[in-house]
Chain A
Amino acid sequence: MSYSFTLNGQPVEATAAGMTSLLSVLRDQSGLLGAKRGCGEGRCGACTVLVDGSPVDSCIYPVANAEGTAVRTVEGLASHDEPLTRIQDALLEHGGVQCGACIPGVVMTLTALLETESNTDDSTVRSSLTGNICRCTGYQKIIDAAQAAASSNGGPR
Chain B
Amino acid sequence: MTLVGTSARRADGEDKVRGAARYGMDYLEHGTLVAKVLRSTVPAARITRLDCSKAASMPGVRAVATAADAPGLSGLMIVKDQSLFARDVIRYVGEPLAAVTADTAEQAEAALAAIDVSLDELEPVLDLEQALAQGTRLIHPDWESYETAMPGPREGNLAWETRVERGDVDTAFDTAHLVVEDEYRTQRQHQSPIEPHAAVARYEQGRYVVHTPTQFPHNVRGRIAELLGIRLSDVRVIVPTIGGGFGGKLDVMVEPFACVLARKTGRPVRILNSRSEEMTTCGPRENAIVRLRTAVASDGTILAQDGVVLADNGANSSGETVAVANVAPLVLGGTYRIPNARYASKVAYTNTTPTAAFRGVNGPYCVYAQEQHLDHIARELGMDRKELRMNNLIRRGESMVNGQQLDDAFLVEAMDKVDEIRPWQDAQAERRPFRGVAVVPLTWLTNPLPAAASVKLEEDGTATVTCAGAEIGTGAVTTGVLQIVAERLGLRLEDVRVSPTDTDTGGFDGGAQGSRTTYGMGNAALDAATKVRDQVLEVAAGMLEAAVDDLEIVDGSVRVSGVPDQQVAIPSVVGTAMFDSGPIGASGKFATPPIPFDSGCMAGAAVTSFPAALYQAHMTEVEVDPDTGRVTVLRYVVAQDVGRAINPQMIEGQIQGGVLQGIGYALFENLRLGDNGEVIDDNLESYRLPTAADAPPIEAAILENPCSYGPLGAKGAAEPPIIPVAAVIGCAVADAIGKPINELPLTPFAVLQAIKES
Q: A71 within 8 Å of B by Cβ?
A: no
By the criterion of a CB under 8 Å from any partner CB, how many residues of chain A are at the interface? Answer: 53
Using Cβ atoms and an 8 Å threshold, which residues of chain B touch A89?
A: 17
Tell me, yes or no, whether A136 is within 8 Å of chain B by CB: yes
User: Are A138 and B659 also in contact (CB < 8 A) when A39-B275, A92-B13, A93-B9 are?
Assistant: yes
State whether the Cβ of A50 lies closer than 8 Å to any Cβ in chain B.
no
Residue A56 interfacial (CB < 8 Å):
no
Closest to B647 in A: A95
Residues of A within 8 A of B192 (CB): 135
CB distance from A119 to the nearest CB of B (A): 16
Residues from chain A with Cβ under 8 Å of B693 in the complex:
126-127, 130
The reply to whether A103 and B195 form a contact with Cβ atoms under 8 Å apart is no
| Shortest Cβ distance from residue A11 to the other chain B in the assembled complex, whole angstroms | 21
The residue in chain A whose Cβ has the minimal distance to the Cβ of B24 is A101
Instruction: Check A33 against B657 for contact (C-beta < 8 Å).
Output: no
- Chain A residues near B275 (CB-CB < 8 A): 38-41
Residues of chain B contacted by A40 (CB below 8 angstroms) = 274-275
B701 at the interface (CB under 8 A from A): no
Given the known A-B contacts A133-B691, A141-B653, are A36 and B25 also in contact in the complex, defined by CB atoms under 8 Å? yes
- Chain B nearest CB: distance from A26 CB in Å? 11
| CB nearest to A38 among chain B residues | B194
Partner of B7, one of A34, A38, A39, A95: A95
Which residue on B lies nearest to A141, using beta carbons?
B653
CB contacts (< 8 Å) of A80 on chain B: these are 18, 20
A121: min CB distance to chain B, Å: 13
B74 on interface, CB distance cutoff 8 Å: no
Which partner residue on chain B sits nearest A105 by CB separation?
Answer: B194
Give bound CA distance, A134 to B21, whole Å.
17
The interface residues of chain A lying within 8 Å CB-to-CB of B697 are 140
Quick one: given A35-B19, A44-B194, A103-B17, are A98 and B691 in contact (CB under 8 Å)? no
**In the bound complex, how far is the Cα of B198 from the Cα of A33, in angstroms?**
15
Choice from A39, A101, A129 contacting B244 with Cβ under 8 Å: A101
CA distance A135 to B193 in the complex (A): 6
Q: Which of B7, B22, B659 contacts A33 (CB 8 A)?
A: B22
Which B residues between 679 and 725 are near A, CB-CB below 8 angstroms? 683-685, 689, 691-693, 695, 697-698
Q: Mark A19-59, 1 if CB is under 8 A from B, else 0.
A: 00000000000001111111111011010000000000000
Known: A136-B473, A140-B656. A34 touches B19 (CB 8 A): yes
Quick one: which of B1-55 are within 8 Å of A by CB?
A: 7, 9-10, 12-14, 16-23, 25-26
CB pair B244 A135 closer than 8 Å: yes
A43 to B7, CA, bound (A): 32
Among B20, B659, B698, max chain A CB count under 10 A is at: B20
- Contact code string B471-484 (vs A, CB < 8 Å = 1, else 0): 01111000000000
From known contacts A92-B13, A93-B9, A95-B7, infer whether A130 and B691 are also in contact, taking CB-CB under 8 Å. Answer: yes
B650: chain A residues within 8 A (beta carbon): 95
**Interface membership of B243, Cβ < 8 A:** yes
Do residues B17 and A97 form an inter-chain contact, with CB atoms below 8 A?
Answer: yes
How many residues on chain B are close to A (CB under 8 Å)? 55
CB distance from A24 to the nearest CB of B (A): 11
Given the complex, which residues of B lie within 8 Å of A34, measured CB to CB?
A: 18-20
Check A37 against B691 for contact (C-beta < 8 Å): no
Q: How far is the CB of A117 from chain B (nearest CB, A)?
A: 15
A94-130: which residues lie under 8 A (CB-CB) from chain B? 94-95, 97-104, 107, 125-127, 129-130
What residue of chain A has the Cβ atom nearest to residue B246's Cβ? A135
> By the criterion CB–CB under 8 Å, are A143 and B692 in contact?
yes
Residue-wise, chain B 88-128 has the 8 Å CB interface mask toward A (1 for contact) of 00000000000000000000000000000000000000000
Binary flags per residue of A141-155, CB closer than 8 Å to B gives 1, else 0: 111000000000000
In the bound complex, residues from chain A placing their C-beta under 8 Å from that of B661 are 135, 138
* CA distance in complex: A101, B244 (Å): 7
CB proximity of A55 to chain B, nearest CB, Å: 14
Query: Is B599 an interface residue, CB under 8 A from the partner?
Result: no
Q: Name the A residues within 8 Å of B195 (CB-CB).
A: 36, 38, 99, 101
Query: How far is it, in angstroms, between the C-alpha of A157 and the C-alpha of B693 when the chains are bound?
Result: 27
Q: Given contacts A97-B13, A100-B473, are A133 and B689 in contact (CB under 8 A)?
A: yes
Contacts A40-B274, A43-B685: A84 and B18 contacting too (C-beta < 8 A)? yes
Q: Are B19 and A43 in contact (CB under 8 A)?
A: no
Which residues from A are CB-within-8-Å of B695? Answer: 126, 138-140
Kindly list chain B residues whose C-beta atoms are within 8 Å of the C-beta of A36: 23, 25-26, 194-195, 243
Task: Answer yes or no: B649 CB below 8 A from chain A CBs.
Answer: yes
Q: Which of B7, B191, B243, B652 contacts A100 (CB 8 A)?
A: B243
Which residues in A have their C-beta under 8 angstroms from that of B23? 36, 101
Which chain A residues lie closer than 8 Å to B658 at the CB level? 138
Q: Which residue of B lies closest to A96 (CB)?
A: B653
Q: Within the assembled complex, what's the spacing in Å between the Cα atoms of A88 and B245?
A: 23
> Which residues of the other chain, A, contact B243 by a CB distance below 8 angstroms?
36, 38, 99-101
User: Whole-angstrom distance between the alpha carbons of A95 and B7 in the complex?
Assistant: 8
* Distance in Å: Cβ of A100 to nearest Cβ of chain B: 3
Measured CB to CB, the nearest residue on chain B to A99 is: B473
CB <8 Å contact, A136 and B244: yes
Rounded to whole angstroms, the CA-CA distance of A24 and B377 in the bound complex is 58
| Residue from the list A44, A93, A104 in contact with B19, Cβ < 8 A | A104
B194 touches A135 (CB 8 A): yes
CB of B352 closer than 8 Å to a CB of A:
no
Greatest chain A CB density within 10 A among B19, B21, B193, B243 is at B19
Chain A hits for B683, CB < 8 A: 39, 41, 43
**Is B241 on the interface with A (CB-CB < 8 A)?**
yes
B210 interface contact, C-beta 8 A: no
Residues of B within 8 A of A102 (CB): 194
Find out whether the CB atom of A33 lies under 8 angstroms from the CB atom of B26.
Answer: yes
Contacts of A7 in B (CB 8 A): none
Asked if residues A98 and B17 are in contact (CB atoms below 8 Å), the reply is: no
Whether the pair A95, B649 counts as a contact (CB closer than 8 A) is yes
In the assembled complex, how far is the CB of residue B683 from the closest CB belonging to chain A, in whole angstroms?
6
Query: Is B660 an interface residue when CB atoms closer than 8 A count as contact?
Result: yes
Contacts of B472 in A (CB 8 A): 99
State whether the Cβ of B733 lies closer than 8 Å to any Cβ in chain A.
no
Known: A33-B26, A41-B275, A140-B656. A99 touches B19 (CB 8 A): no
Q: Tell me the bound Cα distance from A89 to B14 in angstroms.
A: 8
Q: Give the interface centre of A33, A99, A132, A136 by most chain B CB atoms within 10 Å.
A: A99
The CA of A156 and the CA of B241, in the complex, are separated in Å by: 28
Hey, which bits of chain B sit against chain A, CB under 8 A? 7, 9-10, 12-14, 16-23, 25-26, 191-196, 241-246, 274-275, 472-475, 649-650, 652-653, 655-661, 683-685, 689, 691-693, 695, 697-698
A-B pairs, top 6 by smallest CB distance, nearest first, are A34-B19, A99-B473, A101-B243, A100-B16, A138-B656, A74-B19
Extra A-B contacts (10), CB below 8 Å, given A84-B17, A100-B473, A135-B192: A34-B19, A37-B25, A40-B275, A74-B18, A74-B19, A92-B14, A101-B244, A133-B684, A138-B661, A138-B698
What are 20 of the A-B contact pairs (CB < 8 Å)? Answer: A38-B196, A39-B275, A89-B17, A91-B17, A92-B13, A98-B473, A98-B474, A98-B653, A99-B194, A99-B195, A99-B472, A100-B12, A100-B473, A101-B193, A103-B19, A104-B19, A132-B692, A135-B244, A136-B244, A138-B657
